């Protein structure tokens, strides 16, 4: 076999390993889609729509996991109830949500990780903030968070 044929075979093998048939190899494009999703979640939160905040970004499954404050919460409905308990109702202020310092890495064609900072600014009290790491999987309805690990500034 000539060197040219060997090189061609190696290129084809390399390309098939890099982008399996039927998948996207455009990590930058997928990262942009994920950032757009996070920005849509910000907007839903800031207009007071916690249900839409959850529907847009989180996997509707009992296997969704949320780690925060030393607690391990499981399930979409449990997570939505937690948000409602903490941010809705008499005496509760939801605040204005901002995500910053976003870093999004596409780890495989259907798996990504996003990390960054979240901040809530309140009109009547001191703001809150912290760091987060999200594991996302591409679902039929689009990218969805399957695991959320969020910390609060000490």
Task: Specify the range with the lowest mean pLDDT, choosing from 61-65, 123-127, 145-149.
Answer: 123-127
**For residue 61, what pLDDT is reported?**
97
**83: helix, strand or coil:** helix
**Residue 9 in this model has a pLDDT that exceeds 70:** no
Question: What distance in Å separates the CA atoms of residue 65 and residue 59, rounded to the nearest whole number?
Answer: 9
Residue 8's pLDDT band, with cuts at 50, 70 and 90, is very low
CA distances to 49, 72, 90, 138 from 143, rounded to whole Å, are 19, 22, 33, 4
Residue 28 has pLDDT above 50, yes or no: yes
91-99 long-range contacts, CB within 8 A, separation 24+: 93/122, 93/123, 93/124, 93/125, 94/45, 94/48, 94/50, 94/120, 95/120, 95/121, 95/122, 95/127, 95/128, 96/46, 96/120, 96/121, 96/122, 97/42, 97/45, 97/46, 98/42, 99/38, 99/39, 99/42
Instruction: Say yes or no to pLDDT of 118 above 80.
Output: yes
* For range 97-122, the mean pLDDT: 97
pLDDT digits (tens, 9 = 90+) for 41-70: 999 999 999 999 999 999 999 999 999 989
Tell me the domains of the chain and their CATH numbers.
26-150 (3.10.450.50)
pLDDT score for 58 = 98
Stretch 74-94: mean pLDDT: 89
* pTM of the full structure: 0.80
CA distance 126 to 146: 30
The dihedrals phi and psi of 71, each to the nearest 5 degrees, come to -110, 145
Q: How far is CA 96 from the centre of its chain?
A: 19
């Amino acid at each position: 076999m000539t060197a040219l044929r060997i090189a061609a075979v190696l290129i084809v093998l390399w390309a098939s390993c890099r982008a399996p048939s039927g998948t996207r190899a455009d990590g930058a494009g997928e990262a942009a889609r994920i950032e757009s999703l996070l920005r849509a979640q910000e907007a839903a939160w800031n207009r007071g729509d916690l249900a839409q905040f959850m529907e847009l970004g989180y996997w509707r499954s009992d296997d969704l996991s949320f780690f925060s404050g030393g607690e391990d919460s499981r399930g979409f409905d449990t997570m939505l109830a937690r948000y409602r308990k903490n941010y809705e109702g008499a005496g509760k202020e939801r605040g204005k949500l901002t995500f910053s310092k976003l870093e999004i890495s596409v780890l495989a064609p259907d798996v990504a990780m996003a990390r960054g900072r979240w901040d809530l600014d309140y009109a009547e009290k001191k703001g809150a903030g912290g760091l987060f790491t999200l594991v996302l999987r591409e679902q039929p309805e689009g990218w969805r968070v399957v695991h959320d690990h969020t910390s609060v500034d000490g």
